[in-house]
Amino acid sequence: MSSLTMFNFDLTKSLTKKADPDFMAKIEKIKELEYTKPKNLEDHPSQKLYAEVVVDGKTVAKLYNGGSVETSNAAYGKISKLDSVFDPQGSGPALAQQRAEDIAKALGGTVVMSEDALTPAQWAKVPPVEFEVDYAAMAADAARESAEARDGSAETLVKTQIIATQQNEGAPEEPEEEENSAVDEFLEFASMSYEEKVRAMILKSAGVTEEELAAMSPEERAKIEEKIREKVEEAVNNGEFA
């Protein structure tokens, strides 16, 4: 479960009366998106092999009809800066072909086509991947988080009683633990603008913090900022979180 989910959403029950209903609806939508997964993805034509890049008789990269690439960590370190890998344009066989050619050129290999490779014309007739929300997992996690929250509250109450007893007996106080971090994190998220919330979700899904982004080179940061801007505009225009 991501840290954005772990705002301890059970806390929202006590904040709902004060919270903006539209904001609460967006939170629920974000939660739902985290449990959205493709249906029968392994059987979809996009997941069939398009081509392989071979160097000295060894496969160093696999390209799939959907345009995705699979390679080792060592090989990825050599191709990660390629435009078609880092900042891909388009999708499907056209992207797979461009990536295959770029990777082969960068690594000194050759492109070996697969018998399952689709042409752009064939790809145009492929139905899109269908998605479904795993409501069972969503409910199970919500129940678990609720139970953990109750257990945490009980533990905090016991510690408070112990500290009070020690103070009454003149015993030294235990170091004060950090409290209400979940509430603080929730309120911080709630105070963001709509665009900031979408940006936070995009950075989280990419596994990049604002600090890490700021530490990147100007070129790398500019590329990521541009992708974030495009995704924010797309999310807002399409109403994906509305």
Model confidence, pTM: 0.47
**Rounded to an integer, what distance in angstroms lies between the CA atom of residue 103 and that of residue 182?**
45
**Rounded to an integer, what distance in angstroms lies between the CA atom of residue 126 and that of residue 111?**
24
**Rounded to an integer, what distance in angstroms lies between the CA atom of residue 242 and that of residue 236?**
8
Two tokens at 37? 């997964």
Average pLDDT per consecutive 10 residues, the chain (242 residues; last block may be shorter): 42 48 72 79 89 95 93 87 86 93 94 95 89 84 78 62 59 50 62 69 74 78 76 60 47
Two tokens at 84? 């078609």
pLDDT of residue 161: 59
Q: Residue 19 CB: number of other CB atoms within 10 A?
A: 13
pLDDT of residue 179: 47
pLDDT of residue 113: 96
**Is-contact 62 71, C-beta < 8 A?**
yes
pLDDT of residue 6: 41
- DSSP letter for each residue of 2-21: -TTTTTTGGGHHHHTTTS-H
Residue given tokens 């490779």 in the structure block: 117
Beta strands in 1-109, from DSSP E residues, in sequence order: 36-38, 49-55, 58-64, 69-71
**Rounded to an integer, what distance in angstroms lies between the CA atom of residue 96 and that of residue 82?**
13
One-letter amino acid at 179 equals E
Question: Among 56, 83, 59, which residue's Cα sits nearest to residue 70?
Answer: 59
CB-based contacts of 101: which residues, under 8 Å, 6+ apart?
Answer: 111
One-letter amino acid at 71 equals T
One-letter amino acid at 116 equals D
**Rounded to an integer, what distance in angstroms lies between the CA atom of residue 228 and that of residue 195?**
10
Q: Residue 107 CB: number of other CB atoms within 10 A?
A: 18
Two tokens at 185? 């994190």
pLDDT of residue 55: 95
- Taken as a whole, the chain contains a residue count of 242
